[in-house]
Amino acid sequence: MSEPKPDQPGAEASNLLAERREKLDRLRTAGIDPFPHDFPDREEIASVLAEHQRLEAGTETDSVHRVAGRVVARRGHGKAAFIDLRGPSGQIQLHAKADVLGEDAFSLLDDLDLGDILGVEGRVVVTRRGQLSIEVSSWQILAKSLRPPPDKFHGLEDTETRYRRRELDLIANQESREIFRVRARTVSSIRRWLDDHDFFEVETPVLQPLYGGALARPFTTHHHTLDRELYLRIATELYLKRCVVGGIDRVYELGKDFRNEGISPKHNPEFTMLEWYEAYADYAKTASDLESLVSEVATDVLGRPRIERDGKEIDLAPPWRRVTLRDAILDCTGIDIEKETGRESLAAAMEVELEETVGWGKLVDTLFSKRVEPTLIEPTFVLDYPVELSPFAKAHREKEGVVERWEAFIGGVEIANSFTELNDPDEQRRRFEQQAGELDRGDEETQPYDETFIEALEQGMPPTGGVGLGIDRLVMMLTGTHSLREVVLFPAMRD
């Protein structure tokens, strides 16, 4: 039977939808519930295949199994039909015969459509051609599909449709299903690593009275009962550090952050972040932990601490390369940010037009992200950032004007960020006040003044190292993909 693509227009598509509803009516007329409540005692298709993988062609067994899945292909031969059934763990062939099922049951089964979800029971046999199959002795429709499947299950390639209708992408593309399996295993592995290292998982507010912890524009909403503006969090940092103040020496949160910024292959308005904080540690300790975590997670998920990206093998095993921000920019561009310390002179060296709302720190960030970041293919820590870019990081213990901060890069993409956290409340207050000047100039991505956080620091926070790891970007690296939309199930899209 020919099946249209899901977006097939016009009368032909309408006729095909009508045909499926007619078949739905025939099932009900025959006394068959096309949407039953359950299918108990189902086995995974993969386990059935594994149990009988050594059988020779032409073998018949008395081993009876119950499996369920979606009909993805059919081949009919008179009073016999071969049906390919796909479940989450694999695909198996069904062999249905009229003399086994009876004429009525066989006719109804033969009338099903591609995409229908079916439960069957029967014994395992191997055809003369060596195809392991289930000889159907009984079957049950579990969900009638009222719309045709994408491209006859041979792959859905239209990118827009794949992102907007992820369910069709998952139905059609094994590669997409595998990406999200890798993602799930990655998150589980990260949690195990942190739990095994005695970190304490917490949940902090997503709706916050004041946003903070990053340089980003927030989403704003209004709570009617409280009659106040609230913000979707842009980071978990400030609340987690308040936990450290409270005596939770190793703390982490793994969840969604939201930033009202542009959409690109590396940016989505909502994204999954891991942040962890460890008391009595600094950015050298967090760098060592991050490279160990990524290497061990890759080994756990992929079987080895190496990935393939653009035809190049990248080794994730420690130690990773370390280079200062100043040297990385100087090596790639010839611009020395230690000499170009003014907005005007740096903009001139970059040969860009200076906008009124753009400060010196934002220029440095633009220079680095545009011209240096894409070159950082091997795992690299870029160290020691200007204080203007890092309002929560502790001043460098040896270098003037910079803070103890690193960003980690793999495959030309930033995956993580870390500070030796600022724990001097008076210095934090001074930096908040300095940031207020950026807000006054119209920079909507600047950190606002947060007196509650200052008061928490005044209680006393021990020396602390903190890390933010982008889960979506890490999964991009582990799966060899090049866009967050490939690893986020339902990404934000334009109308």
Cα torsion for 432, 434, 440, 442, to the nearest 10°? -90
Helices 471-479 + 174-196 axis angle, to 10 = 120
Work out the burial of residue 457: count CB atoms within 10 Å of its CB; fewer than 13 is exposed, 13-18 middle, 19 or more buried. Answer: buried
- Answer whether 422's CB lies under 8 Å from 428's CB: yes
pLDDT of residue 1: 38
Residue written as token pair 């041979």: 154
What is the per-residue pLDDT for 179?
Answer: 97
Q: What is the pLDDT of residue 381?
A: 98
Amino acid at 395: A
Phi/psi at 55 (nearest 5 deg)?
A: -65, 145
Give pLDDT, residue 2.
41
What are the two backbone dihedrals, phi and then psi, of residue 323, each rounded to the nearest 5 degrees? -150, 145
What is this structure's pTM?
0.90
- Both tokens of residue 431? 């930096």
Cα 144 to Cα 134: distance, rounded to the nearest angstrom:
21
Contact 450, 434 (CB under 8 A): no
Compute the distance between CA of residue 291 and CA of residue 96 in angstroms, rounded to an integer: 54
pLDDT in tens, the chain (495 residues): 344 454 455 677 788 899 999 999 999 999 999 999 999 999 999 999 999 999 999 999 999 999 999 999 999 878 999 999 999 999 999 999 999 999 999 999 999 999 999 999 999 999 999 999 999 999 999 999 999 988 655 567 788 889 999 999 999 899 999 999 999 999 999 999 999 999 999 999 999 999 888 878 999 999 999 999 999 999 999 999 999 999 999 999 999 999 998 888 888 999 999 999 999 999 999 999 999 999 999 999 999 999 999 999 999 999 999 999 999 999 999 999 999 988 899 999 998 888 877 888 889 999 999 999 999 999 999 999 998 888 789 999 999 999 999 999 999 999 999 999 999 999 999 988 887 666 666 666 677 889 999 999 999 999 999 999 999 999 999 999 999 999 999 999 888
Please report the pLDDT score of residue 150 as a whole number: 82
> 208 — phi, psi (to 5°)?
-125, 145
